Structure 1
Amino acid sequence: MKIRYVVLLLTLGLLVAPSALRAQKKAVPPPANAPRQPARTELLLDQYNSEVHVLPLPADSTVVVLVGRNQPLSSKTFYVFQQYDHALHLRQESQLEVPDEFNYVRMCAEAGTVYALFSSRTTPGRLWVAAYNGRLGQVRTQQYETRLSREIVELKALDGRLFATVLLNDQRHVTALLLDVATGQMQYLASIYELLPTQLTFVADAVSRRAEYVLSQTNGRKSRLLLKQLTEHGQLVSSEFVQAESERSLITAQLTPPQDTTARLLMGTYSLRDPNYAQGLFATDLRPTGTTGTKPPLRFYDFLRLKHFFDYLKPQRQARLRQRTERRVARSVPPLRWRYRLLLHELLPQADGGYVLVAEVYYPHYRYNSYNSMMTPFNNPSSLYGSGSSRVFDGYQTTHALVCGFDRGGNLLWDNTFVVENLRRRELEEAVRLQTLPDGRLVLAYLDEEKLRYKLIDRAESSPNDHQVPIQTGLDPTRDTGPEHASDTWQSDLLPWFGSRFVASGYQRVRVGRGPDREVFFLNSVVF
């Protein structure tokens, strides 16, 4: 009977030979435009007993890594700064003695100096900063008693000082804190003090010694933007309002960097009625024009006017959406109200003098925990009415990334979209990264576990959204372990580096053909 069953399977073509199975498992060839991964460094670290923070320095083509190792049978963590060259070879390292009470918060850099900020677990408002000079191999530290600060939400360096966006202890106000690393002095900037839910962005430049802030102000129905320019010492230089005269409200925006003295553009998002959701983009040139010194009007671009914004939808749904809009326009009905949230990246200068704006479209994601109706009402009040559920925040889900090109006057030239998959993060921070290629094209990319997903952008031309390559292992020619591949990846990230390079990083479990598997923290150079 068994022989007849096998014969029947062979006849029907249902029994596949082992060689055919191996053929099916062959890796899909990479796309023709796939990036190279010429270098990889592995640190033998376990994610549960260590922490690693990566910061590329484009100015000198190096990568600085802050490594913290937990000590057995102790609550103390030992830190070290490591600096790697363009080939990811270890150039030098410097020990960092961090007091036991502090946890890592953020890193930033200017020129060749990296700043690591730590916050006290025991004393609210106490901060500790380490400044690492890679060229000299020196570390300077300072401690600050800010008293009122609760959370650092953004950090930038300017001429040896740190500008930190701070949420205060009352959890109702946001302000700016200036930390002088050389002297240990600190001050709250009285000119930056806003009631939540204000949104705040800022740019800083060491050459002009200026920091410029964009703050949103709202009365719950309509919102406007307040622009403030400060010196490197935190002194207010100028202040101006930007608002729309129509029913539109300005939500948030980005300024061109201060070092570009020939342009001063403001680009961001606007809403209709509800200041929580974006209806489209706006742009304006802040420089006065003509003999009267008047400023150009704001230009508004509804998402529907963009060529590629709705590419994340299926074609049939896109067509229905545009038909519905055309009918509303024909009847002179108010436009559709979109409910999109956008995270704006800093403006990226282009070789032609214009700027590129990238915005990640996201929404808060929740998971639902169901309660068993067999629980007693005392343990589960919802069981009084049968089974129930609770909603738990589960991070921010990104659907697509919008990329737009503007000229030096703030006119929209083109737009494109990168439709993403499996992109969720706990904090509202940038996840899709951008680099400019030598031929003028752009590449948008991010890490999805062991895969690098990317899209090449040539202005408004359509192109595939599904290009991907695996993060390569086994780049060490001295290791004879046979074929190997990554089976699990945690805390992965992709950061722009220099030229057309990114640096990919994260914890990884590597399966090998010969020998034991290994768990590492990896750094991969990714070159387009």
Structure 2
Amino acid sequence: MYKVCLLFLLVLVLFVTPLFAQEPAQPYRIELELDIYKTNAELITAPDSSLLLFTKTDGSWTSAPTFEFTRYNYQLKPTWKQKVELPALSRYMTHYTDLPHTYIAIQGKDQHDFQFLKFHLQSGKVTKHAFRIESIDSVYVFKVIDNNYFLVSRSDKDGTPILLHLNEKTGETRPLPAVYGSESTFSDILVHQPEKQVSVVMSESNGRMSRLQTKLFDTQGNLIDNYFILPQPDKRPLAAEITPGDTTTRLLLGTYASRSQRYAAGFFSMPMAEGTDNARYYSFQDLKNFFKYLKPNREERLRKREAGRISSGKESGLQYRVLLHDVYPTENGYILSGEVYFAESGGGNLGRIYSTTGTSGTKKLYHRTQAIALGFDYNGALLWDNSFPLKEVQSNELRPTVEVVANRHGKVVIAYPIKSNEIYYQYMDQDKYIEEETKFEIQPATDGAKITSTSLSGILSWYGLNFVAYGWHNVKAPGSDSRTVFYINRVSF
């Protein structure tokens, strides 16, 4: 009996230990005495395990606001602090990091005035470059290579997204050749530093047909090549992300539609330079865990109904839209992640939409049903898929609402704040699906202290399998009055 009990205990320990090992740690936290009513704070993560905190603190009737940047290391200790002189009405737009620098786009009082701040993350040295760009009124996303900026921006004339090239040294700005339709948008823009190239993926549609186009530029914005992914009779590309590598090894990973281009039917992979001849298609039916957000009986009925429609030659009855995230390289290939959603009022785009906030300006309500992750090898063959059901996740703009971290070994963690002080997450080990709901609470810095309220909370992907949680806490420590602080917590898996 003793041996049986011992064996049972050993099995229990072996089974439970991996689950506990996945629980996140919160080894470091800082609490900053900032005024929530006078301070705007933006937190920027960098892959070198550092953070950059940008604060704009309102002044008084006689003093201008102050703009300050502080760099923190992985232990959340400050390494340098810089005050930067900017016009009073300046506001943060977006950023881009290419080590050892982080670039920050700032818009001035006039919507055509832009400044790009270039920080050396180790030394804190900052340089400013001011430009007036009459053709645009917003910058959604930008990339930098050899002091040349590639801007996905909004046209000041008709609000459509346009691509600009900006030379930092000369100040020259020019539009880059592309086709912009009312239903076209950018899927991805990626810098290939070793090759000194920039890839831009566009999703183009005239309302009836769609195609993908990948444009390849050199650092000066000169067009090197064009690659078109044309629709097949029952395989119509919708949106795609591009992988790193040279032109012979780059892949497009994205979504496709079967007949109706309003909804995705599955995922595809294809060599960028070879097009559809060597494409691989994986319908939602082919995926092991795509329907796990449903109850088992409902999943079984859906699969049977869909298989019957396909076998009888009917169009798929599935109505899913997928918002793709960036591609993560691994030791064996790539990980593609995204969010499955539906729009409450109908319509909605199948790729990334850009507006003044980097997202769609159309005021619809977008509901997320799940987050997904797929592993591909270097040839584009699907290795595994997994999913994470999302609860009460919705937004008025089409933008990412979950954060994803992944390591070189293919481990994935997806997380998002849901309410109060809680963070929901799912640890993915390839296709091993976890049914249990997993969440944790952000912890205060002092033992015995209590967090009585949370405001403007968020979580960001950091480095490795680390996130950073941030926001405003009202904290009550034993024997002291409550206080409101801006908190930053490192969350490690």
Shorter-chain TM band: 0.7 to 0.9
Asked if 1:315 corresponds to 2:315, the answer is no
| Partner of residue 339 from structure 1, selected from 315, 319, 336 | 319
Deviations along 1:150-196, whole A, 9 cap, x unmatched? 22222222233332101102235321122334x26132333135123
Match of 2:268 in 1: 282
One-letter code aligned to 1:409: N
- Structure 1 distance, partners of 2:246, 2:481, is 54
Residue ranges of structure 1 left out of the alignment (5+ in a row) = 1-29, 289-293, 367-391, 476-481
Question: How many angstroms apart in 1 are the aligned matches of 2:107 and 2:284?
Answer: 41
Name the aligned partner's letter for residue 489 of structure 1.
Answer: T
Q: Does structure 1 residue 264 correspond to structure 2 residue 266?
A: no
Give 2:442's aligned residue: 471
Q: Distance in 1 between matches of 2:164 and 2:334?
A: 29
> Is 1:514 the equivalent of 2:479?
yes
Matched, 1:107 2:112: no
Paired letter, 2:233:
S
Structure 2 distance, partners of 1:80, 1:461, is: 44
**Which letter maps to 1:195?**
G
Moved more, 126-135 or 83-92: 126-135
Stretch moving more, 109-118 or 437-446: 437-446
Q: Deviations over 1:248-270 (max 9, x none)?
A: 3211101112x456621111111
Is residue 183–residue 207 contact of structure 2 (8 Å, CA) maintained in 1? no
Distance verdict in 2 for CA 1:509–1:239, change over 3 Å = same
Q: What is the SS of the residue equivalent to 2:226?
A: strand
Structure 1 equivalent of residue 452 of structure 2: 487
Q: Using the alignment, how far apart are the partners of 1:314 and 1:464 within structure 2? A: 11
Distance in 1 (alpha carbons) for counterparts of 2:437 and 2:172:
48
Unaligned runs of 5+ in 2: 1-18, 346-361
Give the Cα separation in 1 of the matches to 2:206 and 2:232: 15
Q: Which moved more, 1:399-408 or 1:146-155?
A: 146-155
Distance 1:426 1:208 in 2: 39
Give me the TM-score of the superposition, normalised by structure 2. 0.86
* Structure 1 segment 25-104 matched on structure 2, within 5 A: 33-59=22-48, 61-73=49-61, 76-104=64-92
SS of 2:83's partner is strand
2:201 corresponds to 1:214: yes
Distance in 2 of aligned mates of 1:193 and 1:327: 40
User: Which of these two proteins has the greater Rg computed from alpha carbons?
Assistant: 1
| Alpha-carbon separation, structure 2, partners of 1:74 and 1:171 | 39
Counterpart of 1:423 in structure 2 is 393
Aligned counterpart for 1:404 among listed residues 366, 371, 374: 374
Deviation at 1:84, TM superposition (A): 0.5
1:298 to 260, 275, 279: 279
1:251·1:276 contact (CA, 8 Å) conserved in 2?
no
- What is the distance in 2 between the residues matched to 1:465 and 1:393? 34
Q: Residues 363 and 397 of structure 2 are in contact (CA less than 8 Å); yes or no, is this contact kept in structure 1? A: no
Shift, 1:73, TM fit: 3.6
Pair 1:124–1:406, CA change in 2 (3 A)? same
Determine the C-alpha separation between the residues in 2 that align with 1:126 and 1:465: 50
Structure 1 contact 437–443 (Cα < 8 Å) conserved:
no
Name the count of aligned residue pairs.
457
1:9 corresponds to which residue? none
2:207 partner amino acid: G
Structure 1 distance, partners of 2:199, 2:407, is 29
CA contact (8 A) 2:265 2:318 kept: yes
Contact 1:349 1:355 in 2 (8 A): yes
For 2:33 and 2:166, the matched residues in 1 are separated by 35
Pairwise CA distance, 1:472: 1.1
Asked if structure 1 preserves the Cα contact closer than 8 Å seen for 2:330 and 2:408, the reply is no
Contact 2:153 2:162 in 1 (8 A): yes
Contact 1:55 1:108 in 2 (8 A): no
Amino acid of the residue matched to residue 242 of structure 1? I
| Partner of residue 342, structure 2 | 363
2:418 corresponds, among 442, 448, 451, to 448
In structure 2, the partner of 1:348 is 328
* Partner amino acid, structure 1, of 2:320: Y
- More off after superposition, 46-55 vs 76-85: 46-55
* From 400, 405, 411, the counterpart of 1:435: 405
Aligned AA for 1:298? A
Measured in 2, the distance between the counterparts of 1:179 and 1:42 equals 39
Shift of 1:400: 0.7
Please give the alpha-carbon distance, in whole angstroms, between the structure 1 residues aligned to 2:271 and 2:190: 17
Q: Does the residue aligned with 2:178 lie in a helix, a strand or coil? A: strand
Of 172, 176, 184, the match for 1:198: 184
Counterpart of 1:265, as a letter, is L
The separation in 2 between residues aligned to 1:75 and 1:412, in whole angstroms, is: 58
Percent identity over the alignment?
28
Against the structure 1 CA distance between its residues 273 and 37, is the aligned structure 2 distance closer, same or farther, given a 3 Å change threshold?
same
Q: Deviations over 1:391-449 (max 9, x none)?
A: x9465332211111111111112111011223334543323222235764222222234
Match of 2:177, SS?
strand
Separation of aligned partners in 2, 1:227 and 1:439: 29
State how far apart, in whole Å, the 1-side matches of 2:217 and 2:377 are: 26
Q: Quote the Cα distance in structure 2 between the aligned partners of 1:184 and 1:53.
A: 30
Aligned to 2:240: 253
**Distance in 2 separating the partners of 1:493 and 1:188:** 36
Distance in 2 (CA, whole Å) between partners of 1:295 and 1:333 is: 22
CA contact (8 A) 1:31 1:467 kept: no
In the aligned structure 2, how far is the partner of 1:439 from the partner of 1:256? Answer: 17
Rounded to whole Å, the distance in 1 between the matches of 2:144 and 2:249 is 23
